Amino acid sequence: MFFDSVQQGPPDIMYHLKVQADGDTSPNKVDLGVGIYRNEKGAYHELKALRDYEVTTGNSKYLQLAAALVFGKNSQLVASSQVASVQTISGTGSIHVALMFLSHSVPGKKRTVYVGTPAWGNYEPMTKLAGLDFQSYKHYSPETGGVDWESVTEAASSAPQGSIFVLQACCHNPTAADFSEEQWRDLATIMKRRQLIPLFDIAYQGLGNGLEKDIYCVRHFAQEGLEMLVCQSFSKNFGLYGERVGALHAVALTQKAAMAIHDQLRFLIRSEFSSSPAFGARLVTHVLSDSSLEASWNEELNDLRQRLHTLRAKLFDLLSNVYKNLYTEKITDSRRLECNYQRNWAFLVGRPWRALVTSRDANRCSLLPLSPQQCQELKNEYHIYMVPNGRITIPGLNAKNIEYVAKSINSVVRDTQTHAGNQPVGGRQ
């Protein structure tokens, strides 16, 4: 397969020198290599609360714990050294390094990166920055309020061998339309048969349906024996937005290939930013190394998910029930329009109305069926800010503002449809 052809990266004298020196337990050891200020005891000199930096590939304990969160604490892949893990500058840095690796270090694969749209806006510029071609396909169907499964399977079934597919493991940004477990299994079958390379983006593990369920796709793809790259971020689920804590995991078919991949990733990191910030990784390590702290963290994630569930349910109720009469009483043929109105908000709580919509009760984002003009009016007239495509971040709602937001959305939609005539609600029907 593709990763078996990856070669060792160019040697880095300083990296290997530090690794060797750190592993030397002789009482006579003198490290004059890495340019770090040492005190009279030969230790790193700490300036107040500042700490030393890690080796190029990152904190080894942190990477073990991060990999366990992705692949499971008893993962055979990890135990057999088929996973190459490196620390990165959050999830964005992880995706960047992954794309650079695919662009420069993996022979035999195609140069095209496939991304289902609408998607996170950074995928395309990062793909092009790495020198790869960007190809979009439809991930979301506004007609059904869920995944455009036909488009997804068509793209995977027709993409040339060795093509790269960026896949969001959970809490799809911006649509909140996640694949079902059955769809993940079907997609794994297609991608294995077509010899495609999955690149998983995991920005929200634990904030969708729990730590285990949110990572189902990655573990299933690994179980099916696919080579893949997994980009992990702790910005959202640990709240470490400013510390830039991430990891990149490459799954290979052999230990030898994993070692070569690790060396290539080390070379890429050394060439760009030398090493990742240390402090955030140590915070994650501190929590995941302590069973009581890990349990407390998991419990808090449950609380966050419950709040998201409550907010989505409340917004759905306000839009589809409380304020619907304010809308329909202004329009003729209200019976038909009431159906259209309710139909548009069902996706907020994962309720199907024309096709299967997977659950997104606790998803962090939502793509509201609003036009750019309606979003602009919400900003100008009501001081409500959202992305022009209708994407909102659910945690921005709270008990004090949710009724105001729902009523404002209702007013904008009602006014638009009053002037436009008896058209379906929203800007994307």
Which whole-number Å values give the CA distances from 337 to 244, 349, 373, in the listed order? 47, 21, 21
- Mean pLDDT over residues 245-260, rounded? 95
Question: 339 pLDDT exceeds 50?
Answer: no
Q: Is residue 427 situated within a structural domain? A: no
Q: Is the domain of 313 the same as that of 279?
A: no
Question: 342 pLDDT exceeds 50?
Answer: no
Phi, psi of 420 (to 5 degrees): -90, -15
Q: Is residue 391 situated within a structural domain? A: yes
Which of 250, 274, 289 is where one domain is finished?
289
Do residues 14 and 34 make contact, with C-beta atoms less than 8 angstroms apart? yes
Buried-state track 299-333, b at ≥16 Cβ within 10 A, e below 16: eebeebbeebbbbbebbbbbbbeebbeebbeebee
Beta strand 164-168 with 112-117: parallel, antiparallel or unpaired?
A: parallel
* Furthest C-alpha separation in the chain: 90
Q: Is the domain of 249 the same as that of 266?
A: yes
Q: Is residue 429 situated within a structural domain? A: no
- Mean pLDDT over residues 371-398, rounded? 85
Beta strand 197-202 with 228-233: parallel, antiparallel or unpaired?
A: parallel
pTM of the model as a whole: 0.79
Q: Is residue 377 situated within a structural domain? A: yes
Tell me the C-alpha distance between 20 and 223, whole Å. 35
Question: Which CATH number is 228's domain given?
Answer: 3.40.640.10
Q: Is the domain of 266 the same as that of 321?
A: no
Phi, psi of 89 (to 5 degrees): -85, 80
Q: Is residue 428 situated within a structural domain? A: no
Tell me the C-alpha distance between 39 and 36, whole Å. 10
Lowest mean pLDDT among 73-87, 299-313, 356-370: 356-370
Question: 231 pLDDT exceeds 90?
Answer: yes
Which of 242, 259, 289 is where one domain is finished?
289
Percent of the chain with pLDDT over 90: 45
Question: 22 pLDDT exceeds 80?
Answer: no
Which of 258, 289, 320 is where one domain is finished?
289
Q: Is the domain of 162 the same as that of 78?
A: yes
Other residues' Cβ atoms within 10 Å of the Cβ of residue 181: 13
Query: 3-state DSSP call for residue 68?
Result: helix
What is the count of structural domains for the chain? Answer: 2
Mean pLDDT of all residues belonging to the chain: 82
Q: How far is CA 150 from the centre of its chain?
A: 23
Q: Is residue 14 situated within a structural domain? A: yes
Q: Is the domain of 229 the same as that of 326?
A: no
- Dump pLDDT digits (tens) for 37-88: 565 566 655 555 445 556 788 889 999 999 999 999 999 999 999 999 999 9
Q: Is the domain of 184 the same as that of 232?
A: yes
Q: What is the pLDDT of residue 314?
A: 87
Tell me the C-alpha distance between 254 and 305, whole Å. 38
- Mean pLDDT over residues 417-422, rounded? 47
Q: Could you tell me the residue range of the domain that residue 32 belongs to?
A: 3-289
Q: What is the pLDDT of residue 4?
A: 66
Q: Which residue has the higher pLDDT, 7 or 226?
A: 226
